[in-house]
Structures are given as C-alpha cells and as structure tokens.
Amino acid sequence: MEDLSKEIKSKIEEEAERFKPVYLYSQFINPKTETVCQSIHIHSPGIYLLGNHIKFDVPPDMEAYLFRYRSNPEEAIGQLAGIYIESDYVILDLNGFSISMTPRFFAMQRYFNLIALNNYPFPPKRQLSTNQYEMSGPINNVILDSFYAGKYVIIRNGSFGLCSNAAIHGCSCEHVHFENLSFEEFERSAIYLNAPRYSIIEQVYINRPLEYNPLSGLTNILCNFYRLNKVDLPEETKTKLETFFNKIYQVNDIDEFFKLDKEIYSSYINLSQTGNNNVYGIHIESVMPGVAWKIYIYDVLLQGIKKNYKYSEIYHEDMSCLCNLPKQNLKKEYLEFDETEELFGACRAELSRIDPNLFRTLKTEVGGIMIHGGYKCCIKKISFINNITDFAVRILESRASRINNIKSEKGYYDVAMLDLMKTEQCNIKYISLDSVSAKKMIHNIDSLGISINEIQILDKK
C-alpha cells in the first residue's frame, strides 16, 4: 500500500506543481468573517491552499435563497456543496485550516457537502446523448451537459467541521488521496465515496459526529414545499415561516436553537433531540454501476462516535418522496405555523395522507467504517476508542478484503465489532480488544472464505 500511496502522490504532485499555487481566500472569502456565501469551483489543475478558515454561510438574500422557486432544477434545493473539484491533478491543501458550515446555514441547507469531487453530487442515471446526462438524486429533470468524476486529487492537512451531509463526497472517483485530516460534527459521513477506484485514505481522525438535527422535519417540509413549487403558501403562513428563519439567522451556535421560545417554536425545533440519519465515519459503497476497487484505509482513529437511540419521525430519503410529488392543493390551515401540538399533528396527518413516506419512524444505524460492494479493499492500522455504535467495521457484499491490525477499546457494539455480511474471501489478522469490545466481536452472515488469525484480549484475566 505504501508503494501505491507514493506512486499516486508522486504522479499528482508532478503534474500539479507545474502550476502556480493559488490561495483560495484571495478570490472568494471574506477574511474578516472567514465566511463565503457561494460555492467555489476548481476547474483547472494545480495546487490550491487555504490562507484562513472557511465557513460557508447563507447568501445575503436569505428570503430569495430559501423561498424563491428556481426554474433550473439543478438549483432547486439550494447549494449542494461548498468546494467543487472539477479537474484532474488537483491538490487541495488546507494548510492547517478548517472548512465548515455556519450553524444558521447548517439549519437552512439540509443537504450540503463541504467538498464535492464531482460537478453534481449525484451520479448520472443515463446518458441521453454525447453531451447530455440525466442525473439521479432527489430532484427530477436535472439534465447536465457534462458529468465530471474526480481523478488524481489530493486533499490534505486540515480539518472539517459542521456539515449537513458529508465533509468529502464523491462518485466514481479514481486515484484520490486523503491524508492528515480530521473530521467532527458531520451529520451523515466524514468521507463518502460511491464506486471509487484506486483510492487511499490515511492518517485520518474522526471524532464526535452530530447525533441529531436541530430542526424538526415539519420545518423543512413546509419550506421545501414552497421552494419546490409543490404548494402556494398563504401569505400569512409565508410570513410566519420567514419570521422563524429570521430568528435562525441570528443563531451563532447549534445550542442556541434550543434557546428559542419553546412555546412558539416547539413544533419546529427538535426539542427531543432525536436522531434521524444513518451515520458512518467512512462510507464506501457501489450503488451505481461499477464496484469500489482497491480502496486502502490506513492509520485511522475513530473516537467518541455515539449512537442516538431515540427514533425520529422524519421525511424519507433526503426529500426524494417530497420532490416527486405532484403539486398539492393543501388546506390553508394545515400550513399555518402555530404553537399547538394539535395543529402540528393535523399537518403531519395531511402530509402523510399525500404520501405515507413523508413521515415515518425510522431506526437509525451508526458505524465506523462501512464498505459495501468492494473488491480488494484493505483496512489497516485502525483504532476505535470509546464508541457506542452498531459496528466498528462492516464489510457487505464484497470480495477479497483484508483487515489488518484493528484495535478497539471501550467499544459497545449493538451488532459486532466486525460485521461481515455476504462477503467472500476476507482475511482478518491482528485484532486487539478489551473485554468490553470483545463481548460482540464478530458477526458473520452468509459469508464464505473468512480467515481470522491472532486475536488478543488486552485486559483478559
């Protein structure tokens, strides 16, 4: 793996260093507030460095951003990523700085990746012609002239904070390398890669993902009904909605959401702090055509990941159901913002009548490293410390995987530390655990050719 890491880095650096380094703050970022209110697109090879922290924030015209209908479906639910890397041979050096969302933008933009390795975060559904792609994802009728998948990209030397989806997100990427990075306060994944090939993740620290979304599902549903032109809100309802988001606009910390007037906003804030997302530290899968080929995950520490055992009634699948609905003629009173639980229940019932999937009770799943659909993937020198999750590592429907030098301390697992499902030819060596982690060590369902060597219980008497 070390040879492959050096080979990939050397090839990218040789090509990228032909260009003069570019500091991103000089072009896009307000140096006083460290905020940027637009997406940053990298279209050319080269070395790009941060000169200060980046906090993605709400555009100045908040009302237009949240409530104005956009005829271009690609922009229907707002900005989907902070930095888009749309070129081969790019080195993004965080230079010791961090990238995150502001709390108010996090509350308003419910799907957002801090870095996207594509020009659109969802893969093509099909190619219509030479220069036309019909895209998948929650929004219908997104047609792009091109689809870029990241190749020969290095992201290194910094940290990622608050975000409402993944810190780093990519589809069909090849020869991408992430090193010396730390992640916290992500809502779904630190790193998410769909059908990557020949990629390396090393020297990574993952700590304390978010356990809940501060806003209730109702708030987002009403806002997106209007934004997606699914319903015409009564003027007074729109005014109340805008008032609520104007309150949010003043928020500078996640905890401040829960200090808003509970009597007025109890239906719109997740006061019970229920979890409503599956959460993974590193999530590698292949849900689109292709397979996750030769992914190397090396020298990673996952710490303080805690499963939220409260279930939540939420709208399903990142607005997929909502976006596919025909335009509705909802009764006016169901869209009124009011402090009464009765009205919240009535609105929920009306929305459930339209589509039962808009609200339903879901059991969330939390894990450390998930590989689904992998081939010749390697996980080595991984530490799990003080986590309460379903699993530390899950290998699902994969072949020829290697797991080497795994350590777990104070790990409480609902399924098992190692969860193997429908997997073939998995070689596991050098596992060290304390007696707590060893209570549920390995879970195996319909897997073949599994070899396990050298397991050590650290505090065994």
Residue type, 434: D
Q: Give the distance from CA 51 to its chain's centroid.
A: 25
Tell me, what's the pLDDT at 14? 87
pLDDT tens digits for 28-43?
677 777 888 889 999 9
Domain stop point among 327, 358, 389:
358
pLDDT tens digits for 416-426?
999 999 999 99
Residue spans of alpha helices (H) in 306-362: 320-323, 341-354
Domain stop point among 341, 358, 375:
358
Query: Which backbone phi and psi does 182 adopt, to 5 degrees?
Result: -130, 150
In a domain, 242, yes or no: yes
In a domain, 235, yes or no: yes
In a domain, 137, yes or no: no
In a domain, 114, yes or no: yes
List b or e across 215-237, with b for residues whose CB sees 16 or more CB atoms inside 10 angstroms: bbbbbbbbbbbbbbebbbbeeeb
Same domain? 159 vs 204: yes
Same domain? 262 vs 158: no
Same domain? 450 vs 303: yes
In a domain, 239, yes or no: yes
Same domain? 87 vs 185: yes
Beta strand 360-362 with 448-457 is unpaired
Measured CA distances, 422 to 104, 394, 426 (Å)? 42, 11, 11
d(CA 109, CA 154): 27
pLDDT tens digits for 230-268?
556 667 666 777 788 888 888 888 888 777 776 666 667
Furthest-apart CA atoms within the chain: distance in Å: 70
Tell me, what's the pLDDT at 343? 46
302: tokens are: 């996952």
Tell me, what's the pLDDT at 316? 43
pLDDT at 88 over 70: yes
In a domain, 139, yes or no: no
pTM of the model: 0.90
In a domain, 129, yes or no: no
Tell me, what's the pLDDT at 333? 45
Same domain? 347 vs 280: no
Tell me, what's the pLDDT at 167? 98
Q: List the CATH number of the domain containing 294.
A: 2.160.20
Domain ranges, residue 9 = 2-60+78-121+153-212+276-311+364-457
Same domain? 162 vs 235: no
d(CA 446, CA 396): 10
CB 92 within 8 A of CB 153: yes
Same domain? 108 vs 249: no
Same domain? 332 vs 227: yes
pLDDT at 456 over 80: yes
Confidence of residue 13 (pLDDT cuts 50, 70, 90): confident
More confidently predicted of 461 and 73: 73
Same domain? 233 vs 267: yes
Tell me, what's the pLDDT at 450? 92
Domain stop point among 329, 358, 387:
358
Element holding 283 (H helix, E strand): strand 279-285
Tell me, what's the pLDDT at 340? 41
Torsion, Cα 190 192 193 198, to 10 degrees, reads 20
Beta strands, E only, 43-196: 46-49, 54-56, 81-85, 90-93, 98-101, 113-116, 124-129, 132-135, 143-144, 151-160, 166-171, 174-183, 189-194
Same domain? 42 vs 174: yes
Measured CA distances, 30 to 36, 53, 135 (Å)? 6, 10, 33
Confidence of residue 74 (pLDDT cuts 50, 70, 90): confident
For the chain, the domain total comes to 2
Residue type, 413: Y
In a domain, 148, yes or no: no
pLDDT tens digits for 108-130?
888 899 999 999 988 888 888 87
Tell me, what's the pLDDT at 337? 40
Same domain? 258 vs 347: yes
The neighbour count for residue 291, using CB atoms within 10 Å, is 17
Same domain? 254 vs 170: no
